[in-house]
Amino acid sequence: MHAEKNKLIDPFNREIKYVRLSVTDRCNMRCFYCLPKHFKNFEQPDHWLNIDETERVINAFAELGVARVRITGGEPLVRKNINQLVQRICDIDGIDDLSLSTNASLLSQHAQSLHDAGISRINVSLDSLRADRFRTITGGELGPVLEGLMAARHAGFKPIKINMLALKDINDDEFESMIEFCLEHDFSLRFIETMPMGSTGRKASDHFLDLGKVRKQLSTRFDFIPGVMPGGGPARYVRVNNSDLRIGFITPLSQHFCETCNRVRLSVDGTLYLCLGQEHKYELRPLLRQGISDDGLKNAIIEAIAIKPEKHEFRDRPGQVVRLMSMTGG
């Protein structure tokens, strides 16, 4: 609602310190819970913020106290010149934590250059370790994803977090093998509940699994020590005893964490989304293209933060978010 000296504080007294930056709404996969198979209604290229515009917006956020940026999409690695964009964001004063979410299918080509450019932490979506099942869920191939993961490890990313959507009747027999896989390769793991974003997300609700129950069940097999992850974030983490493996249970539906929300999302067309589970938004692209000053841009961001809603309503109003997850990147 107001900017204390270099701070963005929303109407619920939460400090906004984190921007999820979607650099494209396109993707080379079609995860059934995210992007409809024949979806064509992508943002037109002349609406994409170019590298200079993106840098300006993130710079304005940094001057307002934002220190963390996660690059996401769609699939961020399908964006041309992604390395250059990453480098420019990385060089912004005040951004001290730059991370990436990717499906990893193109990561083997990019891992080293992204790491050299300044990204140190990555999240990789991986819902199954079985090639046929992976193809059914995502429409893509498992082999290149595993190659991408190994390339990332080789390039020095740490931590590498695997994001696995927990899907009833689809991959609920693979949780233990995913834990073993992460133990073997020194990855972290986060189980995630499906969210009713767009038509695809709502259909996926049929496969919703309450992660509280999953956690209970897994703890009969693994010795979990409750803990917290440095840097906070929504995940409720445990550590597997006698190992370094941390496992997060991300429970936006069964137990939401809106009261500590510290983030907003910028889509590729320059729209700021104030909440993942609401449609409240503020368009920055027209202002950028009308030549707004740097101070004007900061004021616009302050105005946007003033409409950040208190919480999502995925449970009470599951039909209300019409945009797809691929527009804002989770």
Ligand X SMILES: C[S@@+](CC[C@H](N)C(=O)[O-])C[C@H]1O[C@@H](n2cnc3c(N)ncnc32)[C@H](O)[C@@H]1O
Give me the least distance between CB of 32 and ligand SF4, in Å please: 9
Question: Residue 157 touches which of ligand X, ligand SF4, none (CB < 5 to 8 A by kind)?
Answer: none
User: Taking CB within 5 to 8 Å according to partner kind, which of ligand SF4, ligand X, none is near residue 35?
Assistant: ligand SF4
- Residue 24, contacted partner among ligand SF4, ligand X, none, CB below 5-8 A by kind: none
Is 178 near ligand X (CB under 6 A)?
no
120: helix, coil or strand? Answer: coil
User: According to CB under 6 A, which one of 204, 238, 245, 261 is a site residue for ligand X?
Assistant: 204
Instruction: Choose the contact partner of 72 out of ligand X, ligand SF4, none; CB within 5 to 8 A by kind.
Output: ligand X
Residue 277 sits at the vertex; the CA angle it makes with 272 and 280, to the nearest 5 degrees, is 40
C-beta atoms surrounding 172 within 10 Å: 13
Dist. CA 166–CA 302, nearest whole Å: 36
Min separation Cβ 111 and ligand SF4, Å: 17
Closer of 59 and 72 to ligand SF4 (Cβ)? 72
- Answer left, alpha or beta for residue 312, where phi above 0 means left and psi between -120 and 50 means alpha: beta
99 lies in the site for ligand X, by CB under 6 A: no
- State in angstroms the smallest separation of the CB of 76 from ligand SF4: 9
> Which residue type sits at 317?
R
Q: End-to-end CA distance of the chain: give it in Å, rounded.
A: 23
CB closer to ligand X out of 59 and 200 = 200
Could you give the string, one character per residue 111-150, with x where binding to ligand X holds by CB under 6 A and - elsewhere? --------------x-------------------------
Partner touching 195 among ligand X, ligand SF4, none, CB below 5 to 8 Å by kind = ligand X
Q: How far is the CB of 328 from ligand SF4 (least distance, A)?
A: 10
**CB-CB contact of 273 with 264 (8 Å):** yes
User: Tokens 């595993």 belong to which residue?
Assistant: 146
Residue 203 or 307 with smaller CB distance to ligand X: 203
Output the CA–CA distances (angstroms, integers) from residue 239 to 183, 191, 222, 231, 256, in the order listed. 11, 14, 10, 16, 21
Q: What residue 99 binds from ligand X, ligand SF4, none (CB within 5 to 8 A, per partner kind)?
A: none
In terms of C-beta density within 10 A (0-12 exposed, 13-18 middle, 19 or more buried), how is residue 201 classed? buried
Contact residues: ligand SF4, CB under 6 A: 27, 29-31, 34-35, 73-75, 103, 125, 138, 325-326
Tell me: does residue 101 bind ligand X (CB under 6 A): yes
* CB-based contacts of 89, cutoff 8 Å, min separation 6: 21, 54, 55, 58, 69, 71, 95, 98
- Strand ordering across the sheet containing 263-266: 224-227, 236-240, 246-250, 188-192, 160-165, 121-125, 97-102, 68-72, 18-22, 263-266, 271-273, 281-283
Nearer to ligand SF4, 124 or 155 (CB): 124
Q: Which is nearer to ligand X, 302 or 311 (CB)?
A: 311
Footprint of ligand X on this chain (CB under 6 A)?
A: 27, 33-34, 72-73, 75, 101-103, 125, 163, 165, 192, 194-195, 197, 201, 204, 325-326, 329-330
